[in-house]
Amino acid sequence: MKYYLIAGERSGDLHASNLMKALKKQDAQAEFRFWGGNYMQAVGGELVVHYRQLAFMGFLEVLLNLFTISKFITQCKKDIAVHQPDVLILVDYGGFNLKIAKYAKSVGFKVVYYISPKVWAWNQKRAYKIKDRVDKMLCILPFEVEFYKKFSWEVEYVGNPVVEAVKAHQKSEDFFSANNLEASNDVIAILPGSRKQEVTRILPALIPVIANFPNHHFVVAGVDNLPASLYHSVTGLPNASLLVDKTYDVLAHAKAAIVCSGTATLETALFKVPQVIVYKAGAVSYHIAKAMIKVDYIGLANLIVGEEVVKELIQGDCTTENITQEVQHILKNGTDYKELDEAIGDKVASVEAARSIIESYK
């Protein structure tokens, strides 16, 4: 079959690439055309647009770039029409993908959504809109099945792709020597996000925190889609280093972590690393989001379990003193992730999702 996939950010690129691999194993005639990134490119197929051109976050940032986003949406619709895929697979990235879903469904394409938009977080009635535009929803958070039942929609929980990615990671045995780190120093990981706006707001706030732990070495897990200059504020310090595209190796050797809200919080939890979640947004975006969000937590581990497993320090609470105190606490006491493990299960998400798609549409 011909598959057209759309992923608009780094984590979506990774999970879509694993889905592509699973589809290839189950469908020998699989052909791919996609909007995504390096992970998807490595699997094979035709890249239309790289996600780094689509990386706008926050209400204000999106508003300022509406014209650019509109041009990409028009381009995407035309490209789908030309290439006539058997199945359109949308991966997260709700603002863009739901517009594409509306078009695709209206002209008769089969639309699958892998990794649901977070409609349970705000404006929950959007679930009706998604139901109208999507033929099959493949969810990666167990509570989403019950959420969608409220809208008379049976969706499928296929497991969480982060579980698959973490299990597949091979721990580097020469991590310290290969990266010029002292093995005697306990590592505290910093995962500042994969978007420019996240890194520029989070990292400067952590400089005084790093100074409070002179006997630990902080390793910033950077990403290659951002310029190295964004990390200079921290990596110039004597007890801090930058490692690019080695996040899982960093987590595999970390004693604790300071993590920007997002998929990385779940990755950190699955590596069993005690963590504190931090987040700062622009003032306008933050106040709009605060007024609209309908959930009690932003960290995935907390959302899945339904209680605060991991401390969240958001906006005004994201201070040097609070972060320092919480890092001291988790270094001493750790974090219990047992309830998270039980809730999330051990399904291989990409394999389950590929099976469901092929059984439905081949």
How many whole angstroms separate alpha carbon 256 and alpha carbon 259? 10
Dmax over CA atoms of the chain, in Å, equals 61
The domain total for the chain is 2
User: Quick check: helix, strand or coil at residue 7?
Assistant: strand
CA atoms within 13 A on the CB side of 213: 28
How many whole angstroms separate alpha carbon 103 and alpha carbon 96? 11
What per-residue confidence (pLDDT) applies to 283?
56
- Residue 120 phi, psi dihedral angles, 5° rounding: -70, -15
Instruction: Verify that 16 and 138 share a domain, yes or no.
Output: yes
Element (H, E) at 340: helix 338-344
Express each pLDDT in 162-178 by its tens digit: 998 899 899 988 999 99
User: Quick check: helix, strand or coil at residue 126?
Assistant: helix
How many whole angstroms separate alpha carbon 302 and alpha carbon 312? 9
Q: Decide if 120 is inside a domain.
A: yes
**The amino acid at 32:** F
| Rounded percentage of the chain residues whose pLDDT exceeds 70 | 92
What per-residue confidence (pLDDT) applies to 282?
59
Q: Decide if 168 is inside a domain.
A: no
What per-residue confidence (pLDDT) applies to 233?
87
- Report which of residues 262 and 355 the model is more confident about: 355
**Mean pLDDT throughout 87-99?**
94
> Residue 202 above 90 pLDDT?
no
What per-residue confidence (pLDDT) applies to 62?
57
**Mean pLDDT throughout 175-190?**
89
- Report which of residues 239 and 57 the model is more confident about: 239
Cross-strand partners of 243: 221
- Report which of residues 185 and 41 the model is more confident about: 41
Beta-carbon contacts of residue 71 (< 8 Å; ≥ 6 apart):
none
**The amino acid at 270:** L
**For the chain, what is the mean pLDDT?**
90
> Residue 343 above 60 pLDDT?
yes
Domain that holds residue 88: 2-159+347-361
* Confidence band, pLDDT 50/70/90 cuts, at residue 285: low
Instruction: Verify that 334 and 193 share a domain, yes or no.
Output: yes
How many whole angstroms separate alpha carbon 300 and alpha carbon 298? 6
Question: Lowest-confidence range among 27-31, 129-133, 229-233, 249-253?
Answer: 229-233
For residue 232, which of 242, 223, 218 has the smallest C-alpha distance?
242
144: which 2 tokens? 């989403």
* Confidence band, pLDDT 50/70/90 cuts, at residue 225: confident
> Residue 197 above 60 pLDDT?
yes
Instruction: Verify that 151 and 277 share a domain, yes or no.
Output: no
Question: Lowest-confidence range among 102-111, 216-225, 291-300, 311-320?
Answer: 291-300
Q: Decide if 271 is inside a domain.
A: yes
The pTM for the full model equals 0.81
Distances (CA, A) of 340 to 114, 162, 207, 252: 21, 13, 31, 18
* Confidence band, pLDDT 50/70/90 cuts, at residue 255: very high
Beta-carbon contacts of residue 57 (< 8 Å; ≥ 6 apart):
195, 197, 198
How many whole angstroms separate alpha carbon 310 and alpha carbon 274? 8
> Residue 220 above 90 pLDDT?
yes
DSSP per residue, 208-245 = HHHHT-TTEEEEEEE-TTS-GGGGHHHHTSTTEEEEET
Instruction: Verify that 323 and 352 share a domain, yes or no.
Output: no
**Mean pLDDT throughout 120-142?**
92
- Report which of residues 228 and 280 the model is more confident about: 228
- Determine how many CB atoms are found less than 10 A away from the CB of residue 125: 8
For residue 279, which of 17, 7, 57 has the smallest C-alpha distance?
57
Instruction: Verify that 312 and 260 share a domain, yes or no.
Output: yes
Instruction: Verify that 152 and 179 share a domain, yes or no.
Output: no
Cross-strand partners of 157: 139
- Report which of residues 360 and 58 the model is more confident about: 360
Instruction: Verify that 357 and 311 share a domain, yes or no.
Output: no
> Residue 77 above 90 pLDDT?
yes
> Residue 35 above 90 pLDDT?
yes
> Residue 287 above 70 pLDDT?
no
Q: Decide if 166 is inside a domain.
A: no
**How does 90-114 read in b/e, with b if 16+ C-beta sit within 10 Å?**
bbbbbebbbbbbbbbbeeebbbbbb
Instruction: Verify that 47 and 186 share a domain, yes or no.
Output: no
- Report which of residues 286 and 110 the model is more confident about: 110
Instruction: Verify that 252 and 236 share a domain, yes or no.
Output: yes
Tokens 């093995």 sit on residue: 183
* Confidence band, pLDDT 50/70/90 cuts, at residue 65: low
* Confidence band, pLDDT 50/70/90 cuts, at residue 91: very high
Instruction: Verify that 193 and 112 share a domain, yes or no.
Output: no
Q: Decide if 169 is inside a domain.
A: no
8-state DSSP, 51: G
Instruction: Verify that 66 and 91 share a domain, yes or no.
Output: yes
* Confidence band, pLDDT 50/70/90 cuts, at residue 55: low
Q: Decide if 100 is inside a domain.
A: yes
State the CATH number of the domain containing residue 252: 3.40.50.2000
